[in-house]
Amino acid sequence: MAVIHHTTMQPTKLELLTEWLPGRAWYAGGAEVPSPAKAGGFRIDDPAGEVGIEFMAVADGAGPDAVTYLVPMTYRGAPLEGAEHALIGTSEHGVLGTRWIYDGTHDPVLVAELYALLAGRTEAQAQSVDNTTDPTVAASLDPAGTGAELVRVTEGPDRTDVEVRETGTAAPLTLRIRRVLHSGADGGPGRGRVTAEWRLADGTTARGAYVVALAD
């Protein structure tokens, strides 16, 4: 199980996202500077214990115009080779030192563990508590392989499509990351999905699809 260190990060993840979000194809805030606030999410353990994996929901704006984005992130103790384009930024962790923080849709470790979550081979972990599963996260997939390898990533207006190759199969599978979260949406037809909760500006809880698995 991953150990969550309750310590400082400089800059914070939200400060890094303030700079990073406006450059995304799915950012809906226009020319305004975002003011992201943590609104929910969960973690997945890396079996090797090397990479931190977090699916963070961040709210931006207020009232009926507020938007909640899904930002999967990985935290590494060294740069990920070939992933310079996916770097959100670096931060000084109070215990672990310099951490390289990536858009996790481009990180093969996150993609492999997301597939494991969908297939029921691992469990979602609480975002801020050690050794605690998150029972509010539901995942389902009828897997065709024992694992998944990242093939390519394509950005859309409200999503990121991660194409993977399931071990032992030739048919591609797309893991559609719902970048803009919508309450009650299950993501439409698909082989499987991850649904989870997030907090709205009025303090209530919403639930919808974080990820949908689509067979081509």
- State residue 194's pLDDT score: 97
- State residue 68's pLDDT score: 96
For residue 167, the tally of other CB atoms under 10 A from its CB is 14
Selection from 206, 152, 175, 155 nearest residue 27 by Cα = 155
Q: Which residue has the higher pLDDT, 32 or 121?
A: 121
pLDDT greater than 90 at residue 114: yes
* Model pLDDT for residues 163-173, shown as the tens digit of each residue: 999 998 888 89
- State residue 49's pLDDT score: 92
Q: Which residue has the higher pLDDT, 167 or 63?
A: 167
pTM: 0.94
Beta strands in 111-199 (DSSP E): 138-141, 148-155, 159-166, 172-178, 192-199
Domains in the chain: boundaries: 9-215
Whether 115 and 162 have beta carbons less than 8 Å apart is answered as no
What average pLDDT does the chain have? 92
pLDDT greater than 60 at residue 191: yes
- State residue 146's pLDDT score: 92
The whole-number average pLDDT for the span 3-16 is 80
pLDDT greater than 90 at residue 117: yes
The whole-number average pLDDT for the span 57-74 is 92
The whole-number average pLDDT for the span 114-125 is 97
11 band by pLDDT with thresholds 50, 70 and 90:
very high
Quick one: tokens of 131? 């050794």
* Model pLDDT for residues 70-93, shown as the tens digit of each residue: 999 999 999 999 999 999 999 997
- State residue 190's pLDDT score: 86
